[in-house]
Every structure is written in structure tokens, then in C-alpha cells.
Amino acid sequence: MATFYVLPSRHLLGQRFGELLTSLFPRVRYTLWDWPDLAEYMAGLVESQSDTHVVYREDLDEIAFGGLAGALGSDLKDVLMRHFGAAFDDEIIEIPIGASLAQFLNQRSATETMRKPA
């Protein structure tokens, strides 16, 4: 079973990581041009784990608003299954970010629950 982490945009996530690093290392500063790279670097560390995938919110938005057939109006599970290779029993963890890095939330779901008969 794989795990899909649905994260905010690279820009927003990178900004939060930059804020965290700046609080740990006060003389180190990251600009808005660095933020997407920080997010990608952290995602690379996460994806180095077995069966772990990172999907950014802007990639989902591109599919939904980019005109791909059937994506508009689909829920998150359907989009991940159709366009990102999620399987029925994969776990999906959506992580919205609050006003600061310390305000992470997560919402878990498994794609198998979507397809099980009642």
C-alpha cells in the first residue's frame, strides 16, 4: 500500500520551511525564489521512503482547470487514481497549512473506502 501526501503549493510549503530554517538559523534567509526549491528538496526526502508520493495542490489545480477530460468535478481520490497512479487501497493524507508552520493539519483517507460496496 502506498501513501500519497497532498501538500499545499510548492511556494507556500517552501515559504513555511524557509521560516522554520530562519528561526533555527537566524542569519540564514530564504527568498521567495528559494521557496519552491525548499519544498522540492523536502519532498525528495519524503519520497525516498518506500511507496511514498508527494502531490502538490497546484498540480491538482492544473489538472482540474487545465481541461483534462473528466477531471473537473472529480474528487481528490478520483484525480489521484486517474492522474497520479494511486490504487484502491492507497492511503491519501491531505495536509493543509495554517498561518504558520506549526499549524499543520492532516486529513487521512484510503482510496479503497471509495470503491467498497455498501
Query: For the segment 35-79, what is each residue's pLDDT rounded down to a tens digit?
Result: 999 999 999 999 999 899 999 999 987 776 655 444 444 588 888
Residue 112 has pLDDT above 90, yes or no: no
Residue 2 has pLDDT above 90, yes or no: yes
Residue 11 has pLDDT above 70, yes or no: yes
Q: Are 55 and 5 in contact (CB under 8 A)?
A: yes
Task: Report residue 75 as a C-alpha cell.
Answer: 474528487
Predicted confidence at residue 117, as pLDDT, reads 46
111 or 11: which leads in pLDDT: 11
Predicted confidence at residue 95, as pLDDT, reads 86
Cβ-in-10-Å burial (0-12, 13-18, 19+) of 50 comes to exposed
Q: Within 13 Å and on the Cβ side, how many CA atoms surround 107?
A: 9
Q: What angle do CA 99, 100, 105 make, to 5 degrees?
A: 80
Cα 52 to Cα 2: distance, rounded to the nearest angstrom: 6
Please state the domain count of the chain: 1
Residue range of the domain that includes 34? 3-115
Average pLDDT over residues 15-42: 91
| Whole-prediction pTM | 0.75
pLDDT band at residue 118 using 50, 70 and 90 as cut-offs: very low
